[in-house]
Chains A and B, each alone.
Chain A
């Protein structure tokens, strides 16, 4: 019998498969991980501290930089929190625009995940296809907001810009195109024998584990918990759309994959309906005071981002700056389960498990 001895292996912080600056210190015995210690904070920018000296509108660009793959949802959570405090009524057209851009963002975010995850575990070509389609979405969002990734599109009370002429039609045309491409992805990847062998049964956990670790998003839904804030604690105008919450029960990386792929379809459904119902006239911005001063008190709201439950806590003293601003970042919570999942795993599964959680480091580090 071969005798092995324990060894420390440092993965990251500069490592392509960690999708950012993320470091894991691994104690390995041969190829088996004995202990994994994540080290984060390399991208900590102190957003919450900075925000204490900024007016609410000035904070919006900072939210773009947290989850930079789905910045629209981040824009929304801050505006939503302030609007909740001020009991503001949002014009319908603005709500539709917000939903459309957020769901497009969700599709784009899942596409990035799909492409890079497959790349991580050794398939090159899906990445190219996924990024082609994602680029189409980015172009749409650029057209409406002016930004490619950091949109700074939403405002307290509505959105900054109205949809340019013909934009809605472009979105309408995009939906069937994306559906077609998605079918292509399934042909190419889903059910592929090598892919299945790589992720089936890997990184599995139970529903109870998921709940105690405060997991959310696809990481929770892959264990059979039918939970989506868009449906269960409906915000904005999500109650007007007919869509499903895809749920899988195995709790492994494959279930998470299936979950996200199904979510792309559901997001497209929402976009399709929103475009059909889109009001032709109307304001895209409510009448908002020049200086936004929420009443004294505190609020906590949460919405469904592509990565899970994103929340925003604001403690206000009735001033134009928040007294305390706190974001509940889904990636930060979701990543906590990693050491437990890695323990006893073969080192080759590290990337398949980490990638399956779908983290964005800008969000983990806040």
Chain B
């Protein structure tokens, strides 16, 4: 193929190729340089940098203007850094955007209103004018805000999450603008009424919360005032005394912490007798055993029973104190079948022996368990430890 070409042609081709190669190399170099430059730039984003610079310039201009307006010839004591300026600019941009959006919304509203309210239109500013007004207002507001922020900074005050604050403020402003426009377009009374109602509701809620919440939570112990259950307790005690004799009860009182339940404390020897009497006496008729359990009070053991009379709609608590080292007591299973499992639980977890119980074995823990876990001196037994 090369045979058909003249030497000139070949030389020309060579030259072209060399030129091309040179061009390519130059391009590559350029590219490499650009890359290097980009790498040298920590941000790696020229555009961003440019934007930052622009924002800085803008912010500086604004600052200057504001200073002229507000501080007059007052000298700057603190040179605000570029970042702060950027923040300001950003805030301003956000505010402006929000204002713009509000204005647009307003314009739309106005337009839609104008269709229906042709009459009023002549009295109202046109959408165009309104838009301008809103813009101006928003700009002014943003400026004021920025100035205030700046002032704050200059006076050494710590400003927390400026960005969020500014955004919130701008939002509020936009909302206010919107509201204003709504007012202007004739919704005046309605929005007012709503606002008033809202404020009222808020105040009411606050007052209610205050009234409820401010009350200090304190245990109410009004020892002087006799309990409403005192007559009932006196009656029980009297009936027991009349029928069973004196000195059967260790104590009888109203337990104010437990919805004022009349509480009887039996002696160990009279416990079963009193329980029996409470159940079968026609006047008392406590035929329902609501609850029975034991407690280790360290000084003594205690059995607590809650009895209820369906006939009289009355409750009574029957307690008995036991010797902690030898907790033995008569079982109530002869009176109430329902005492069976709770007493087994008492035996299992507290080690209380219930005399006359049909099947006093462990119920929760395994049969080979060592110790009674709910006793305050319980030590877990583990063969491997």
Contact = CB atoms under 8 A, between A and B. Distances in A.
Interface of B: 201, 204-205, 208-209, 212-221, 255-259, 261, 287-291, 293, 295-297, 304, 306, 310, 313, 317, 336-342, 349, 362-366, 373-374
Contact of B306 (A84, A213, A287, A300): A300
B219 A85 contact: yes
Interface string A280-310: 1111001111000011011111100000010
A88 B217 contact: yes
A332 B339 CA distance: 11
Interface of A: 40-41, 44, 46, 48-49, 84-89, 91, 157, 211-215, 225, 227, 232, 280-283, 286-289, 294-295, 297-302, 309, 311, 313, 315, 323-324, 326, 328, 332-333, 335-337, 365-366
29 contacts: A41-B364, A41-B366, A48-B349, A84-B257, A85-B219, A85-B257, A86-B217, A89-B217, A91-B212, A211-B288, A212-B337, A212-B338, A214-B336, A214-B339, A225-B310, A281-B204, A282-B208, A283-B209, A283-B213, A286-B212, A287-B217, A295-B221, A298-B258, A300-B304, A311-B306, A326-B293, A328-B293, A335-B341, A337-B337
A287 B215 CA distance: 8
Contacts of B221: 295
B220 A87 contact: yes
A35 to B, nearest CB: 12
Contacts of B219: 85-87, 294-295
Given A40-B364, A211-B310, 16 more contacts: A44-B364, A49-B373, A89-B212, A89-B215, A214-B337, A282-B209, A283-B209, A287-B217, A298-B257, A299-B259, A300-B306, A302-B306, A315-B295, A336-B341, A337-B337, A365-B364
A211 B304 contact: no
A215 B290 CA distance: 9
Nearest to A302: B290
A74 to B, nearest CB: 16
A214 B257 contact: no
Contact of A281 (B205, B337, B373): B205
A227 B261 CA distance: 19
A225 B261 CA distance: 23
Contacts of A283: 208-209, 212-213
Contact of A336 (B213, B255, B340): B340
A157 B213 CA distance: 10
Nearest to A283: B209
Nearest to B306: A300
B217 A333 contact: no
B257 A297 contact: yes
Contacts of A44: 364-365
B287 A211 contact: yes
A211 B338 CA distance: 8
B374 A48 contact: yes
B209 A299 contact: no
A38 to B, nearest CB: 9
A44 B373 CA distance: 12
Q: 7 tightest A-B contacts by CB? A: A214-B338, A281-B205, A295-B219, A87-B220, A299-B258, A297-B257, A44-B364
A300 B258 contact: yes
Nearest to A227: B310
Contact of B337 (A213, A299, A302, A313): A213
A30 to B, nearest CB: 26
A366 B215 contact: no
B255 A282 contact: no
A286 B290 contact: no
A286 B221 CA distance: 20
Contacts of B340: 336
B208 A281 contact: yes
B232 to A, nearest CB: 15
Contact of B338 (A85, A213, A298, A326): A213
A300 B317 contact: yes
A366 B293 CA distance: 13
B213 A313 contact: no
A122 B336 CA distance: 35
A222 B197 CA distance: 52
A142 B220 CA distance: 36
A332 B342 CA distance: 8
A13 B244 CA distance: 48
B40 to A, nearest CB: 52
A366 B205 CA distance: 41
